[in-house]
Amino acid sequence: MANAPHGGVLKDLVARDEPLRDTLKAEAQTLPDIVLTERQLCDLELIMNGGFSPLEGFMTEADYKGVVDNLRLADGALFPIPITLDVSREDIDRLSIASGSRIALRDPRDDQALAIITVEDVYRPDQVKEAIQVFGADDPAHPAVAYLRNKVKEYYVGGKVQAIQPPTHFDYVALRYTPAELRAHFKKVAWRRVVAFQTPPSERAYPPRVGLTKPGDVDHYTRVRVYEAIMAKYPNGMGHLALLPLAMRMAGPREAVWHAIIRKNFGATHFIVGRDHAGPGKNSQGKDFYGPSRWCRSSR
């Protein structure tokens, strides 16, 4: 963990002690393992590098229920979106998952062990309640609700993770910064005010998303090329481009709070919320999920 001029305590879990990393990597070869989904991979990367601080793992049942019901972890810390590791009944039986189990978490692209989770609990969530509370409706027209219904497995595993290594990226390597690295950059250039904005570039720094978005969104290669072109128009030293491997949930007001927490962890001091921020479009009745009236109510 490291303090920084922007944000507060950062829970960076990546093992930088080479003997410890080698020990964890060797242990992972002996453990049962879970091959992560693309969303889980994005979530794990941001847990490990501190982007999801104060999380140190996937949510236990107490944290999950607190977030779904009250937008807070069990210890009272603000966190509005469930970050969960879903498994099937078959996974539980096959891997003998129970409290105290240690499970290796593997990258689906190259099968590398990225982390080890020590299981604290295994629980069956109320996914209909999760949809209603987090996304505002159990409506399959919402991409995250459709994902919850069709792809998320019926049990969640909670527990802290020990990071072995971050996922390997081969695209835009020079633009991929951890929260600690970005904070260090802001300190070096003596930026006292760092403004983040979800879509257009900010006053100083903008991390475009390169994780999962909703179906039909522009691919991340196109987005990054657009931002690279825009950044060239900034006065020298007034902007900095960094990628954010975030799997969007499109949860409207809750997601706006989540994005602000994440940007704070990356060193932003201010966050601009756009109109219908993280809105997925129309519901099954043809109305906006999170229109202006919903935002007005949410801001009171």
Same fold, 18-163 and 173-298: no
Domain boundaries, the chain: 18-163, 173-298
Write the DSSP string, the chain: -B--TTTS-B---B---HHHHHHHHHHHTTS-EEEPPHHHHHHHHHHHTTTTTT--EEPPHHHHHHHHHHSB-TTS-B--S---EEE-HHHHHHHT--TT-EEEEE-TTT--EEEEEE--EEE---HHHHHHHHHSS--TTSHHHHHHHHTS-SEEEEEEEEE--PPP--SSGGG---HHHHHHHHHHTT-S--EEESSS--SSEE--B-S---TTPPPHHHHHHHHHHHHTTSPTTS-EE--B-------HHHHHHHHHHHHHHTT-SEEEPPTTTT---B-TTSSBTT-HHHHHHHT-
Question: Which CATH number is 173-298's, of 3.40.50.620, 3.60.15.10, 3.30.457.10, 3.40.50.720?
Answer: 3.40.50.620
pTM: 0.87
CATH 3.10.400.10 fits 18-163, yes or no: yes
Each residue's pLDDT, cut to its tens digit, for the chain (300 residues) gives: 444 445 677 888 876 788 889 999 999 999 999 999 999 999 999 999 999 999 999 999 999 999 999 999 999 999 999 999 999 999 999 999 999 999 999 999 999 999 999 999 999 999 999 999 999 999 999 999 999 999 999 999 999 999 999 999 888 888 889 999 999 999 999 999 998 876 543 334 444 445 445 454 556 777 788 877 877 887 877 888 888 899 999 999 999 999 999 999 999 999 888 777 877 888 888 888 887 645 444 433
